[in-house]
Structure 1
């Protein structure tokens, strides 16, 4: 039995490492492994930015991947949490009754959805802002080199 509240909280708390996807689809889920890879690459980008400074071009490309993985896991959480009870049970609990309580939306699910929306939006916008800022700063530096 897959429980909607549990998968929403897994998606919120440890979704970027693919835990919610692995809970839902098993260890062979390619999207779960992709989320884990994006998270590790993004964390490596932040580590490079701390070690080599913000002028490291590789960290410009890698660091936003962490925010993208958080945003993608938040979108998965929203998808699962907003699914109706009958659709949930039909898809993820086919042996259970369509009105089984495992697919029911309760206040814990709603709380996870609200926090997931806030965290996912913040992560996505921060990643975009960081990436675009670094890109345009590098373009200005290149223009200065050309003009001299």
Structure 2
């Protein structure tokens, strides 16, 4: 078992978690979940590109952008969980010789701020799109 740094894992989840960077670091290249992270993230980014190019009325962009928000939110949750894992449990699981220290805690704090903002924005965007769709449906009725 290779030694894994809790602080590094926290910051990898914070900065590249939506692409599975923390899972590749912790579990290696053979981790199926790590390989599944980039695809929904890239779909969400494609939704952002479509929104920028085609405008707010693009229905595909409306569906894909919340996927990006959810992927970023789950990455921030992973950073929080990793950063706040007790040092004894981390040492038992990943044979770490050093505790995570303040770097892991600061990463968890940053993840909480970013994740909260992104999740609230995702819920607000999705709610707005739903109510606009509902209004369009009612306007189309005779």
**TM-score bin, normalised by smaller chain:** over 0.9
For the pair 1:2 / 2:4, whether they are aligned, the reply is: yes
Q: Given the two structures, how large is their TM-score scaled by the length of structure 1?
A: 0.89
Unmatched runs of 5 consecutive residues or more in structure 2: none
| CA deviation string 1:29-87 (max 9, x = no partner) | 22222221121011001111111111111111101111111111111111111111111
Question: Paired residue for 1:119?
Answer: 114
Please state if 1:37 is matched with 2:42: no
Alpha-carbon distance between aligned partners in 2 of 1:133 and 1:84, rounded to the nearest angstrom:
39
Q: How does 1:1-148 map to 2 (within 5 A)?
A: 1-93=3-95, 100-101=97-98, 104-147=99-142
Unaligned runs of 5+ residues in structure 1 are none
SS state at 1:28 partner? coil
| Alpha-carbon shift at residue 105 of structure 1 (Å) | 3.0
CA separation in 2, counterparts of 1:121 and 1:37?
Answer: 23
CA contact (8 A) 2:84 2:104 kept: no
Q: What TM-score do the two structures reach when normalised by structure 2?
A: 0.93
In the comparison of the two structures, how many residue pairs are matched? 140
Q: Is the 8 A contact 2:5 2:100 kept in 1?
A: no
CA RMSD of aligned residues (A): 1.2
Measured in 1, the distance between the counterparts of 2:15 and 2:34 equals: 14
